[in-house]
Amino acid sequence: MQSGPRRRFRLRYLLLLAVAAGAFVFLGRHAWREWRWRYIVIHHTASDAGNLEYYRRLHKEERGWPDIAYHFVVNNGASNTVPGQIEESNLWKERSRGYSTRNTYVNTVGIAVVMVGNLERHAPTTLQYQSLVSLLVTLAREYDIPPERIIGHRELQQTKCPGQHLDMAKLREDVARELAR
């Protein structure tokens, strides 16, 4: 026969275990959401117009996605933005996966950054480019992502994105130089 106090002790023990397991799952999930980032994928919008709100509306209405496909938008001065101004999407605020490539794994562990502009036709302005480099340096430091994991969309899939005027090798070098300072 089990005595009363011992059974009560077991119940308390089980309750404690359940609370600990819950906390572990909660914190683990939070840690995963915050620390899962392994790549940064660079895109261009292939159009010189628009800002975050413009592309959010476009992606929601035309593609049926819940939000813009990207985590960060680096503006070019269109739609009342300041050239180089960075906008953070709700995807990033919620640490949700993006929709920027056809690869779900990359969308899940990759931070998607888009340059507004058609960089297949022309280079980004110095201000916009410098702003991109400083954003990448910040993200690379924060999430411990080495420059070789900063990749252009075209290095992953059959596309011209982010355009021939965005030299990915030079971009990685510029980020690496800043990181080494």
Q: For Zn ion, which is the closer residue by CB, 48 or 178?
A: 48
Q: Is 172 in the site for Zn ion (CB under 5 A)?
A: no
Q: Is 71 in the site for Zn ion (CB under 5 A)?
A: no
Which of 43, 56, 71, 97 is in the footprint of Zn ion by CB under 5 A? 43
> Which of 92, 62, 97 has its CA nearest to residue 74?
92
Q: Is 153 in the site for Zn ion (CB under 5 A)?
A: yes
| Candidate segments 2-10, 23-31, 39-47, 133-141, binder of Zn ion by CB under 5 A | 39-47
Residue 88 three-state SS: strand
Q: What is the CA radius of gyration of the chain?
A: 22
Distance of CA 98 to the CA centre of its chain: 7
Q: Kindly state the number of chain residues that form the binding site for Zn ion, as judged by CB under 5 A.
A: 3
Give residue for tokens 């993200």: 139
Which of 106, 116, 132, 161 is in the footprint of Zn ion by CB under 5 A? 161
Beta strand pairing call for 86-88 and 72-74: antiparallel
Least distance (Å) from Zn ion to the CB of residue 123?
17
